[in-house]
Structures are given as C-alpha cells and as structure tokens.
C-alpha cells in the first residue's frame, strides 16, 4: 500500500505585461496599448473518494502548472496558465518535505485546497498612462512561480484502531468481526501494512476498524517496523489495546504500548481506550480471575477469544458504547482541528534517504534574469 509520496510541485509564473504604443495609419500618438499578462496556474489538491492509496502519484515525481502568457498589443490579455488538480484520497495530509512543516489536510470528497498559488500577471502599460506621462514605455513583470517539494501522507480514517505487540491477535480479531481478510500467522510482523474492516453491529449499524502492524518496545527509536504506521490510527476516536492472555505481565505490556504512543504524539493519549485480553481460550476461569485483579484500572477491559467467539459481542458492545459516548463526541469535535505535528526529520531519515538520491538529477528552477522583481511592489489586492 502506497501511503507516502514525495513530489516536486511548481505553480505557474505570471505573464509579463506588454509595453507597447499603438501605431496605425493616420493615428499619430496612438497611446499605450500593451495588455496584461495572464495568471500562472495553481497546484490544487482535491479529495477524491475513489482513490484509496497514493499509488497513482508514486511514479509522478513532478507536477508543474502552466505559466501565464505575456500580454499582447491592442490591449489583449495573455492567457492564464493551466492549473493542475491533483486527486488524492480523503485523509491525505501534505507537508513541506524540506522543513517538515504541515501544509494542509484534505478530508472530504470534492474538497479543494490550493497548495501553491500561481503568480499574478503583470499589468500592461495602458494602466500606467497619466496626463503627464502619456506614453509609458514600461510595464509590470508577472509574479514569479512558487516551487516546493511536498510529501503527501495518507492517514486512514477509521473509528477504532488496534494497538498491540506483534502476534497479539489483532489481525485475527479483524478477520473475525469483519469481512476483511488480513494475513494471519503465528510469527511476529505478519502484518506489514494497515488493513481496514467494516464491523457490523446490531440493527445495520457499523463502524470501521483499522489493523496496523505490531508495535514493540523501542519502536519510537525505530525498532521493529517503527512507528510510522501509527499515523493511520492518529485520527481514530478509539484505540483498542490488545494483549494476549499468555503475556508475562499484561499491565506492563499495556504501559509499554501507551508509552510508545505518547512518544509518537502526546495527543494519542487523549483518545478513549479499551483493553482486550486476547487468546483467553488458552487460560481457565481461575486464571482469568487472578489476571483481572492486576489490570490497569482506568480503562474498560474484556476477555476475548477469536476461535470460540467468547467476549466478541461484549467487545463490540463496549466499542459501540464508547464510540457514541458523550465524551467521545466532544472529542470528535475537537479532532476536526486535529493538530498534525510538523515532521521530525530525524525519525524519517531512512525514509528520505532513497528519495534524496532520486532527486539529485532533478532539473533546477529556471530563472528569469531579464527583469528584476525587486523594483516592483506587488501590493495586495
Ligand atoms: N488460541 C488462540 N490463538 C489465537 C487467537 N487469536 C489469534 N491467535 C493466534 O495468534 C497468532 C497471531 O495472530 P495474528 O492475528 O496474526 O496476530 P497479529 O497481532 O496480527 O500479529 P502481527 O500482524 O504480526 O502484528 C496466530 O497464529 C493466531 O492463530 C485466539 O483468540 N486464541
Ligand atoms: Mg497482523
């Protein structure tokens, strides 16, 4: 699944205004008639629900909008440059690849976000004629283009995110409550990319569950598969922690997971949490009671087993109740303004390394050296 791409984007340059004096037979001193330059094209992101990944952008490394045409004689205005609309799946976040700064977030189908604005066209010399300067022999240049290397990241939109060590039974749970068919096997790191499933609840109600690769202690330092998959549960309202019943210390495992999440983004701790103790077919009632005495206090828990179906309905009830609780609704409103933290480039150094190599041969921004932008005031309209 392609959930991360890096692209060079460039908006269009504004066309130059024309400096021209009207000339025609029997019209002496025709006056200025240079037209305005056209506007450069924008780079626009558009949310499109028909896309699920960023695969279509993987091999498209450059997106350049068209430049505005220069103004012409006879007051003709130059054509505007063509804007480029880039379709992205809903839930895409854009960052400036060089500084790691957050740029924008595309959440809805049809939502348009202008990533880079094209330069405005320059004014032709008709605009500069005054009673005392009737034949201005100058015009305004167009505004320059903007160029930026942008990383687009997909952050999946799901209601419940599964968090657990490898082999905890996350994929097994997803496959037993939804129609998703994730790979399941008895070794760590079976799941290498996120899976989504729709869990149907009573009376035709449903919610979306996201299964992501397992997290281990030290994941925030890049151990195992690291933490980059956590971005897929960043938007989830509810986190379901999964610890197998045969773990040495359930409480400790839970705390390790929590700690790793906090390192990734402290806001993750604001989410509702539920604990599921998986594989409880492996233990008997007596042991279950013993275990329940030593569980984290502040969150609801449930014992489940995928093969016997034990606790699964109870788990769904708890999840549904939590998803619809008053508190969670308030949190959802807050989440609309989810803070996407700027990138910490150190954490993604490895991700960037192979990209950097590809970009060395990228063509440089061509400069217009025949006019000087500094001389002109591009006053805000
Ligand atoms: N006995 C029993 N075994 C289970 C249960 N749930 C999962 N397993 C087994 O545990 C192993 C790991 O399950 P997965 O669902 O692949 O675990 P995961 O958490 O997705 O693991 P990763 O994808 O590697 O992070 C498999 O062999 C499952 O058959 C359960 O409730 N009871
Ligand atoms: Mg798995």
Average pLDDT over every residue of 39-63: 92
The residue whose CA has the least distance to atom 9 of ligand 1 is 169
Ligand 1, CB within 6 Å, residue ranges: 164, 166-172, 184-186, 188-191, 213-214, 278-279, 281-282, 305-307
The residue whose CA has the least distance to atom 13 of ligand 1 is 169
- Angle among Cα 47, 200, 50 to the nearest 5 degrees reads 20
Ligand 1, from 162, 169, 180: best to mutate by most atoms within 8 Å of Cβ?
169
**Candidate from 112-116, 313-317, 323-327 with smallest mean pLDDT:** 323-327
Three-state SS sequence of the chain: CCCEEEEEEECCCCCCCCCCECCECCECCCCECCCCCCCCCCEEEEECCCCCCCHHHHCCCEEECCCCCCCCCCCCCCCCCCCEEEEECCCEEEEECCCCCEEEEECCCCCEEEEECCCCCCCCHHHHCECCECCCCCCCCCCCCCEEEEEEEECCCCCEEEEECCCCCHHHHHHHHECCCCCCCCCCCCCCCCEEEEEECHHHCEEEEEECCCCCCCHHHCCCCCCHHHHHHCCCCEEEEEEECCCCCHHHHHHHHHHHHHHHCHHHHHCEEEEEEECHHHCCHHHHHHHHHCCCCCCCEEECCCCCCCCHHHHHHHHHHHHCCHHHHHHHHHHCCCCCCCCCCCCCHHHHHHHHHHHCCCCCCCCCCCCCHHHCCCCCC
- How many angstroms separate the alpha carbon of residue 183 from the centre of ligand 2? 6
The answer to whether residue 375 scores a pLDDT higher than 60 is: no
- How many angstroms separate the alpha carbon of residue 213 from the centre of ligand 2? 6
The residue whose CA has the least distance to atom 21 of ligand 1 is 167
- How many angstroms separate the alpha carbon of residue 170 from the centre of ligand 2? 5
pLDDT tier at 230, thresholds 50, 70, 90: confident
The answer to whether residue 366 scores a pLDDT higher than 70 is: no
Residue 84: the pLDDT is 95
Residues with CB under 5 A from ligand 2 (ion): 171, 190-191
pTM value is 0.71
Largest Cα span, the chain? 110
Instruction: Say how far residue 307 (Cα) sits from the centre of its chain.
Output: 37
Residues 6+ positions from 75 with CB-CB distance below 8 Å? 33, 34, 35, 124, 126
Entry field: residues in the chain? 381
Distances (CA, A) of 310 to 150, 167, 250: 47, 19, 19
- How many angstroms separate the alpha carbon of residue 357 from the centre of ligand 1? 39
Per-residue pLDDT of 201-221, as tens digits, reads 888 788 889 888 888 888 877
Find out whether 210 and 91 touch, Cβ atoms under 8 Å. Answer: no
- How many angstroms separate the alpha carbon of residue 144 from the centre of ligand 2? 50
- How many angstroms separate the alpha carbon of residue 209 from the centre of ligand 1? 16
Average pLDDT over every residue of 12-33: 93
- Give the ligand 1 atom nearest the CA of 187: 24
């Amino acid at each position: 699944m392609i959930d991360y791409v890096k692209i060079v984007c460039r908006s269009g340059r504004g066309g130059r205004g024309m400096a021209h004096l009207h000339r025609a037979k029997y019209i002496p001193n025709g006056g200025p008639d240079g037209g305005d330059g056209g506007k450069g094209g924008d780079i626009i992101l558009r949310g499109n629900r028909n896309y699920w990944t960023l695969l279509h952008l993987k091999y498209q490394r450059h997106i350049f909008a068209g430049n505005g045409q220069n103004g012409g004689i006879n007051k003709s205005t130059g054509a505007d440059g063509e804007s480029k609309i880039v379709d992205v799946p809903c839930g895409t976040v854009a960052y400036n690849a060089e500084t790691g700064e957050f740029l924008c977030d595309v959440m809805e189908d049809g939502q348009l976000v202008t990533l880079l604005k094209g330069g405005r066209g320059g004014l032709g010399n008709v605009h500069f004629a005054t009673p005392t300067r009737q034949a201005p022999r100058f015009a305004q240049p167009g505004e320059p283009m903007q160029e930026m290397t942008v990383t687009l990241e997909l952050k999946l939109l799901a209601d419940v995110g599964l968090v657990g060590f490898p082999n905890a039974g996350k994929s097994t749970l997803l496959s037993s409550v939804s129609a998703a068919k994730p790979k399941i096997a008895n070794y760590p790191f079976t799941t290498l990319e996120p899976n989504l499933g729709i869990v149907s609840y009573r009376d035709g109600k449903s919610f979306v569950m996201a299964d992501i690769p397992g997290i281990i202690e030290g994941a925030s330092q890049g151990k195992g598969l690291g933490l980059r998959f956590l971005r897929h549960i960043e938007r989830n309202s509810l986190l379901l922690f999964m610890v197998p019943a045969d773990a040495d210390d359930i409480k400790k495992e839970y705390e390790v997971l929590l700690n790793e999440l906090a390192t990734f983004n402290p806001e993750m701790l604001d989410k509702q949490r539920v604990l599921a103790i998986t594989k409880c077919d492996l233990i008997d009632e007596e042991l279950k009671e013993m275990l329940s005495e030593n569980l984290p206090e502040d969150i609801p828990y449930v014992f489940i087993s995928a093969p016997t179906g034990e606790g699964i309905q109870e788990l769904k009830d708890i999840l549904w109740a939590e998803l619809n609780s008053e508190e969670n609704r308030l949190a959802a409103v807050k989440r609309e303004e989810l803070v996407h933290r700027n990138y910490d480039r150190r954490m993604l150094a490895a991700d960037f390394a192979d990209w950097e190599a590809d970009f060395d041969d990228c063509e440089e921004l061509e400069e217009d050296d025949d006019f000087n932008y500094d001389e002109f005031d591009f006053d805000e309209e």
